[in-house]
Amino acid sequence: MSESEENEKEQKKVKIVSSADIIAARGKGRELAKKMGFSVVDQTKITTAISELTRNIVTYAGRGEVTIKKARSKTGGKNGIVVVCIDEGPGIEDVGLVLKGGFSTSGSLGLGLSGAKQLMDEFEIKSKPGEGTVVTIKKWLRR
Amino acid sequence: MLDIPILKIEDFLVVTIQSELSDDEISALQEDILFRIKDVGAAGLIIDITALDIVDSFMGRTLSNIAATVELLGAKAVVVGIRPAVAVTLVELGIRVKWNVNTALNFDRGMKLLKRLIEAERRGGAS
Amino acid sequence: MSQNLERELSTLFEDHADRLKGQWVTEMRESGLLEQMSDVETEKRYTALYNTVVSTFRTGEFEDVGRYAKEITEEAVLRDMSVGRIIGGILKLRDIYARFIFSKYRDEKDKLYKFLDSYEPVANNILTIVTMAFVEERERVIQEQQRAMMGLSTPVLQIREEILVLPLIGTVDSERAEQILEKLLNGIVELEASVVIIDLTGVPVIDSLVANYMIKTVHAAKMLGADTIITGISPVNAQTLAGLGIDISMLITKNNLRAGLWHADQILGFKVIREKM
């Protein structure tokens, strides 16, 4: 089995519908991060980032799905964890504004997004009004 | 519905959060605490989160809200038991921007701090 | 077109390898570039380089050079061999090849220029790759040493009941900073500290990275119920900090460790009395 196939097999998918699912997603995240050997601080950061993003899904999109699995950097050499949060919510009109806005202008949505961005090594968001949102976050194992 | 015990010790209320709470449970807890404080006329509140290995921005804001409301009710609040990994994460999250919560290392220190805060207030210091 | 020319060049270099190599080694010896090496070592090392260069011309790919550069620099930096020698040696080879091309095609001006046009960028690229490999390897070693130094020199010391001291030495990079913070916070929990004194005397440059790290540390320690005192900021660094525009008003700073300890005693209600004279 190739490495990417192995990673696919080990991935955890959690459907996000209610706030109870936030806890489930966090648990899966912590589990995989711990298994991969992330430090306690990094485990906590990863789990918290997952919490922020899934909470956004529940609050703003209604429903979505989170996929958590191992990642390998393109240039080889680095192992890490990648979390993809997909929802079919209303989408975000101006992502840049939301990320910059802080609590008052965009509510906890921006806070959650920028929080997750702050805690992880890589953060990518694709969102269009009417087309939902995909947020991908990654954290790499330190040597 | 999870029943989180709110204990009364001396003039204070002590809440120990044992496990991860769902959003509904957090809201219910917040209501419970504030009701009990008024009901009992407690001078202070200790929230022990030693058992929590994660505090996200929602939980952080909730703790901050509880502390603020408790102040409005004329009492003092202290959060104890924040784990190192949680502290680092909360700081990274930038929660400190709206985080005006008294904190102490553990229950004992928390009690000492509560008493100091209440004493300071009684002497007429600004809160 | 250029690729064919390069291949022609490589064949040329290969066919005359013995002569060119011999010339090269002789000139290097004359310039004193081969002093620390035995003949056998010289032969081995410079044959490897020669062949690498020839194959680069043949294939048009620089992977071999990259690999060679990495190997030689790791070894050279480790043995503290002079960069000048190795670069000097490659420069000599470049010149020997160039002179050779000149002598061979002296009377065929067109061909000469074509060959030189083809030759120069490849030769210069080889030189650049090797030089950069040296620079990167040196930087890597320095970073590693600094990290090791930081690791060795950040003990969390309990100086009194409830008071911890963290003397920082060296450069604080973001990865190391977090590890130290974690260690400090665990120390606060384990030793039930109420005051932490961070001494920056051994940190040469206090930039915005360090300043932000201090602020983070103060906030995190506060969540564990501990106050933080920063000591040992030199006048120069103090000026830099002030000019950075970061709000450090919330930091408690004292001139030196002694003043910091005195302040910590004040906070905790300790009084130090000398009994015997």
In a domain, B82, yes or no: yes
**pLDDT given at position C49:** 83
Q: How far is C186 from chain B (nearest CA, A)?
A: 6
CA–CA gap between residue C21 and residue C45 (Å, rounded): 12
**pLDDT given at position B55:** 95
Task: Give me the residues paired with residue C4 across strands.
Answer: none
Contact B98, A103 (CB under 8 A): yes
pLDDT digits (tens, 9 = 90+) for B70-116: 999 999 999 999 999 999 999 998 865 567 899 999 999 999 999 99
**For the ranges A13-27, B50-64, C144-158, C262-276, which has the lowest average pLDDT?**
C144-158
**pLDDT given at position A24:** 95
CA–CA gap between residue C73 and residue C136 (Å, rounded): 9
Instruction: Assess whether pLDDT exceeds 50 at residue C141.
Output: yes
Contact C190, C178 (CB under 8 A): no
Q: Which domain holds residue B116?
A: 6-122
Query: Which residues of chain B are within 8 Å of residue C185 when distances are taken between CB atoms?
Result: 84, 87-88
**Helix/strand/coil (H, E, C) string of A116-141?**
HHHHCCEEEEEEECCCEEEEEEEEEC
Which of C182, C189, C226 minimises the CB distance to B88? C182
H or E element at residue C50: helix C39-59
Is B56 in contact with A48 (Cβ distance < 8 A)? yes
**Average pLDDT score over residue span C59-76:** 82
- Residue C121: how many CB atoms within 10 A of its CB? 11
Going along chain C from its start, the domains and CATH numbers come out as 2-148 (1.10.490), 157-268 (3.30.750.24)
Model confidence band, residue A77 (pLDDT cutoffs 50, 70, 90): confident
How many structural domains comprise chain B?
Answer: 1
Of all residues in chain C, what percent carry a pLDDT higher than 90? 29
Is B105 in contact with C186 (Cβ distance < 8 A)? no
In a domain, B53, yes or no: yes
**Average pLDDT score over residue span C52-78:** 82
Question: In this structure, what CATH number is given to the domain that contains residue B51?
Answer: 3.30.750.24
Query: Which residues of chain A are within 8 Å of residue B84 when distances are taken between CB atoms?
Result: 40-41
CA–CA gap between residue A53 and residue A138 (Å, rounded): 13
In a domain, B38, yes or no: yes
The residue of chain C nearest to residue B50, with distances taken between CA atoms, is C224
Query: Which residues of chain A are within 8 Å of residue B53 when distances are taken between CB atoms?
Result: 30, 44, 47
Which of C192, C194, C220 minimises the CB distance to B88? C220
Decide: helix, strand or coil at residue C133. helix
The residue of chain C nearest to residue A121, with distances taken between CA atoms, is C175
Is A41 in contact with C175 (Cβ distance < 8 A)? no
**Average pLDDT score over residue span C205-232:** 92
Q: Give the CA dihedral C108, C109, C115, C118, nearest 10 degrees.
A: -160
Provide φ and ψ at C54, rounded to 5°.
-60, -45
Q: Which domain holds residue A55?
A: 3-140
**pLDDT given at position B1:** 46
CA–CA gap between residue A102 and residue C37 (Å, rounded): 64
The verdict on A4 touching B (C-beta cutoff 8 Å) is no
Which of B54, B93, B98 minimises the CB distance to A47? B54
Query: Which residues of chain B are within 8 Å of residue C226 when distances are taken between CB atoms?
Result: 105
Query: Which residues of chain B are within 8 Å of residue A44 when distances are taken between CB atoms?
Result: 53-54, 83, 85-86, 88-89
Which of A20, A30, A55 minimises the CB distance to B56? A55
Question: In this structure, what CATH number is given to the domain that contains residue A86?
Answer: 3.30.565.10
Model ipTM over 0.90:
yes
Longest dimension (CA), chain C: 99
Instruction: Assess whether pLDDT exceeds 80 at residue C109.
Output: yes
Q: How far is B58 from chain A (nearest CA, A)?
A: 8
**pLDDT given at position C208:** 86
Is B89 in contact with A45 (Cβ distance < 8 A)? yes
CA–CA gap between residue A60 and residue A17 (Å, rounded): 11
CA–CA gap between residue B105 and residue C223 (Å, rounded): 8
Which of C189, C216, C222 minimises the CB distance to B84? C189
Is C182 in contact with A142 (Cβ distance < 8 A)? no
Please tell me what DSSP assigns to residue A142: P
Instruction: Assess whether pLDDT exceeds 90 at residue C133.
Output: no
**pLDDT given at position C115:** 87
Query: Which residues of chain A are within 8 Å of residue B61 when distances are taken between CB atoms?
Result: 108
Instruction: Assess whether pLDDT exceeds 80 at residue A72.
Output: yes
In a domain, B127, yes or no: no
Top residue of A40, A41, A78 to mutate, by most chain C CBs within 10 Å, is A41
CA–CA gap between residue C164 and residue B86 (Å, rounded): 21
Instruction: Assess whether pLDDT exceeds 90 at residue C218.
Output: yes
CA–CA gap between residue B93 and residue B114 (Å, rounded): 27
Is C182 in contact with A39 (Cβ distance < 8 A)? yes
Query: CA of B4: how far to CAs of B48, B75, B117, C197, in Å?
Result: 12, 21, 26, 38
The closest of C87, C188, C203 to C154, measured between CA atoms, is C203
Residue B59, token pair as written in the block: 């939980």
Which of C178, C186, C223 minimises the CB distance to B103? C223
The closest of C212, B60, B20, B11 to A52, measured between CA atoms, is B60
pLDDT digits (tens, 9 = 90+) for A25-69: 999 999 999 999 999 999 999 999 999 999 999 998 999 999 999
**Average pLDDT score over residue span A86-94:** 88
Top residue of B96, B106, B112 to mutate, by most chain C CBs within 10 Å, is B96
Give me the amino acid identity at B67. Answer: A
Contact B79, B49 (CB under 8 A): yes
How many structural domains comprise chain A?
Answer: 1
The verdict on C175 touching A (C-beta cutoff 8 Å) is yes
Query: Which residues of chain A are within 8 Å of residue B92 when distances are taken between CB atoms?
Result: 45, 118-119
